[in-house]
Amino acid sequence: MNDSAVQLVTDSAADLPDEILEEYGITCVPLTVSLGGRGFEDGTMSPSDFMDLMAGSKTLPTTSQPSPGAFLEVFERLAERGPILCMTISEKLSGTAQSARMAAQMLPDAEIEVFDTKAATSAEGAQVIRAAQLLREGKELGEVLDYLVNYRENMRIFQGFLDLTNLVKGGRLSRLQGRIADFMSIRVICHNVDGEIEMLEKIRGTEKMFARIIELIEAEGVDIEDRIMVISHAANLEWAEWLAEKVKKMNPRDVIIVPMGSVISTHAGAGSIVISV
């Protein structure tokens, strides 16, 4: 339940489960996924079913941002209750923020702020949860925005790729490179650079990769105690829980594990994990 006058909106790329959306009164606008001539809203298919569907396809699913009309419908409904803070997936990954801004321009009398989280999945979700907590504490919209800018710019995001199949399907790796990587148990660590995903390191072996991610987090020197550390996973709860146990020892504000939705899983691939600090 949202006790604040400010209404909080996000998109489904934040991968926030229904219980968190309901707890904080957050409205979620879904992206869409298409595969094999079938289209559906992100979040309406279970992660396991989507993984099976994706594994059986020779091509990658395609994803689409919400239309301005989808945001306009939400904004019109919420504007009567007070100002709106809409937090979106990185503009460098999706046109979702642009759709939200177009909708906001259609309501010139409403107070609507569109905030680019410069992230997706766990890192987007962590920012949304923190904003919800601050609003519940009674912070004004301007205070929350100032906090979010600092939080966002100091956030560190690491992604572990276990299965490079989607990189091959998407043309980012050749089939030969994919087969060699699979044979040699090559894992890839990526990180977020100003809203874009870039390769950081290649590691042999799953456990070595996740141990390296912990080392990278520890080396960042971020004020962990003020952080909500969200771990999202594409059907890889075992390693997500392993990471959670490791990062809990760093004494963050909270550690939350969430399943990765269809949109992000399309690009990340089966078994991938994203952790934000």
For the chain, the domains span: 7-153, 157-276
Specify the fold of 7-153. Rossmann fold (3.40.50)
Q: How far apart are the first and last CA of the chain?
A: 26
Nearest residue to 262 (alpha-carbon basis) of 40, 90, 27, 10: 40
The neighbouring-strand residues paired with 256 are 230
Check: CB of residue 7 under 8 Å from CB of residue 82. Answer: yes
Q: β-strands 157-161, 186-193: how paired?
A: antiparallel
CATH of 157-276, one of 3.30.1180.10, 3.40.50.720, 3.40.50.300, 3.30.70.1730: 3.30.1180.10
Per-residue pLDDT of the chain (277 residues; tens, 9 = 90+): 666 689 999 999 999 999 999 999 999 999 999 987 889 999 999 888 888 888 888 888 899 999 999 999 999 999 999 999 999 999 999 999 999 999 999 999 999 999 999 999 999 999 999 999 999 999 999 999 999 999 999 999 999 988 777 666 666 556 666 666 675 778 888 899 888 888 898 899 999 999 999 999 988 877 788 889 999 999 999 999 999 999 999 999 999 999 999 999 988 888 999 999 8
